[in-house]
Amino acid sequence: MSGGRINLSYGGGVNSTALLILHENEIDEAIFANHGGDYPDTYDYVKYIERQGFPITVIKPSVEGFDDLYDYCIYKRLIPSRMFRWCTDKFKIKPITKYVDKPSKMFIGFCLDETKRVKSEFRYRKGIIAQYPLITDGITRKDCIQIIKNAGLKVPRKSCCYFCPFSRRLEARELLLNYPKLYQKCKLLEKNCMRDDLFIHGDVPLSDVAMEKVPSILSYLKKIEAGG
Instruction: Give the pLDDT confidence of 52-101 residue by residue, as tens digits.
Output: 999 999 999 999 999 999 999 999 999 998 888 899 999 999 999 999 99
List phi, psi (to 5°) of 108. -125, 135
Residue 217 has pLDDT above 60, yes or no: no
Closest CA to 140 of 109, 108, 116, 113: 113
- Residue 169 has what pLDDT? 84
Span 150-170, pLDDT tens digits: 999 999 999 999 999 998 888
Average pLDDT over residues 165-194: 92
CA 40, CA 184: separation in Å to the nearest integer? Answer: 15
Could you tell me if 106 and 7 are in contact, meaning their C-beta atoms sit under 8 angstroms apart? yes
**170 vs 133, residue with greater confidence:** 133
pLDDT beyond 80 at 142: yes
Q: Percentage of the chain with pLDDT > 70?
A: 88
- Alpha-carbon span 93 to 163, nearest angstrom: 18
pLDDT at 1: 44
Answer for the pair 105, 131: CB distance below 8 angstroms, yes or no: yes
**DSSP-assigned beta bridge partners for residue 108:** 9
Q: Is the pLDDT of residue 116 over 70?
A: yes
Angstrom distances, CA of residue 174 to CA of 79, 178, 192, 200, 217:
20, 6, 22, 15, 11
- CA–CA separation, 4 vs 145, rounded Å? 30
* Domains of the chain (ranges, CATH numbers): 5-150 (3.40.50.620), 169-225 (no CATH)
Rounded Cα–Cα distance for residues 161 and 90 (Å): 14
Query: What's the predicted TM-score (pTM) here?
Result: 0.89
pLDDT band at residue 227, thresholds of 50, 70 and 90?
low
User: Residue 192's Cα: distance from chain center in Å?
Assistant: 22
